[in-house]
Amino acid sequence: MTKATTTEASGDEPERAPQRRSRVSGIDRAVQILDHLQQEGRAQTAYEVARAIGAPLSTVYAIVEDLLDKSLLARSGDGGVWLGPRLYHYGLAYARDLQVINVATHEMHVLAREVGETVQICGRDGGMMVVEAMAEGPGHFVITSRVGTRVPLNWTASGRLLVAGLDEAERAALFRRSAKASPTGRAVTDPATLLAQARDALAAGVSIQAGESDYAVACIAAPVLDEAGACPITVSIVLPEFRVNEEHANFVEAVKAAARRIEDKLGWRVGPFANGRRYG
């Protein structure tokens, strides 16, 4: 590797800034590998990972072996590698001190018992919605998603709400980058339409989508807003599409009330967003 050189400043001549290294560090490569596996949601071979992240195969092999030795990765039965048990232990330690999720998880279970349907806590990672917690309701038709499931923002009711805190230009740019066609073909992909839907949903304090990511499945989501008006998480009811029309008003009031309780417990219902729940 060629080292960047600097010269001492003399007189009034400004000192030159060191050149940035163009070589990717081992830590950066390790993070790229972990991020890629998380995004794919399945085990992959070192060859597949190297090709996806654009790294030399020999480098990826070496880092993968090191991560396997440290239990940050684990081998799968088909010869690939997947996230390892040590990451789970780190996640548990992190979650213990994560007040937002602890409070939201409690209210999630309360809401699931109240409405008899699956309830999720969702957050945003770039242009993706991520299921951060889930509670199954006691109903006969149970709809579930794995914790950690990631889908494009435009597929979900929560996706219209998780953009709160971004200005209009940022929202539009995010939708342009991340919007994708859904398996049902019903998800909106036009950025201008998504922007308008997000604006309306935030103003109403609720977002409802049906059949966009899965056939006959609907979602009713409410934003949990912090003191600045950003939406770090949503609480949402996932239910059969036919039930939305049957008990629309009851579900909407229940999910909005759950969001308000979370905000209250976190002390977020103070300041300009407390009275009248000003969104957008």
Question: What is the tens place of the pLDDT at every residue in 61-80?
Answer: 999 999 999 999 999 988 89
- Statement: residue 273 has pLDDT above 80: no
Q: pLDDT per residue over 211-227, tens digit each?
A: 787 888 889 999 999 98
Question: If pLDDT is split at 50, 70 and 90, which confidence band does 240 have?
Answer: confident
For residues 43 and 83, what is the distance between their CA atoms, to the nearest angstrom? 8
- Looking at residue 143, its pLDDT comes to 65
- Looking at residue 96, its pLDDT comes to 64
Asked: is 26-87 a CATH 3.40.50.720 domain? The reply is: no
**Angle separating helix axes 99-115 and 85-96, nearest 10 degrees:** 90
Average pLDDT, the chain: 84
Q: What is the DSSP string of 133-181?
A: EEE--SSSS-----TT-EEEGGGSHHHHHTTTTS-HHHHHHHHHHH---
For residues 128 and 12, what is the distance between their CA atoms, to the nearest angstrom? 50
- Statement: residue 2 has pLDDT above 60: no
Q: By the 8 A CB rule, do 162 and 231 touch?
A: yes
- Looking at residue 14, its pLDDT comes to 40
- Statement: residue 39 has pLDDT above 50: yes
Find, among 103, 26, 104, 111, the residue nearest to 65 by Cα: 26
For residues 201 and 209, what is the distance between their CA atoms, to the nearest angstrom? 11
Q: pLDDT per residue over 104-149, tens digit each?
A: 999 999 999 999 999 999 999 999 999 999 998 776 566 667 888 8
Question: If pLDDT is split at 50, 70 and 90, which confidence band does 102 have?
Answer: confident
Residue 157, burial from CB neighbour count under 10 angstroms (0-12, 13-18, 19+) = buried
pTM over 0.75: no
- Statement: residue 276 has pLDDT above 50: no
Domain locations along the chain: 26-87, 98-273
- Statement: residue 27 has pLDDT above 60: yes
CATH of domain 98-273: 3.30.450.40
Q: By the 8 A CB rule, do 164 and 137 touch?
A: no
For residues 271 and 228, what is the distance between their CA atoms, to the nearest angstrom? 9
Eight-class DSSP state of 238:
E
Q: pLDDT per residue over 149-197, tens digit each?
A: 899 999 999 999 999 999 999 999 999 999 999 988 989 999 999 999 9
Structural element, H or E, at residue 241: helix 241-246
- Looking at residue 92, its pLDDT comes to 77
- Statement: residue 44 has pLDDT above 80: yes
- Statement: residue 40 has pLDDT above 80: yes
- Statement: residue 22 has pLDDT above 70: no
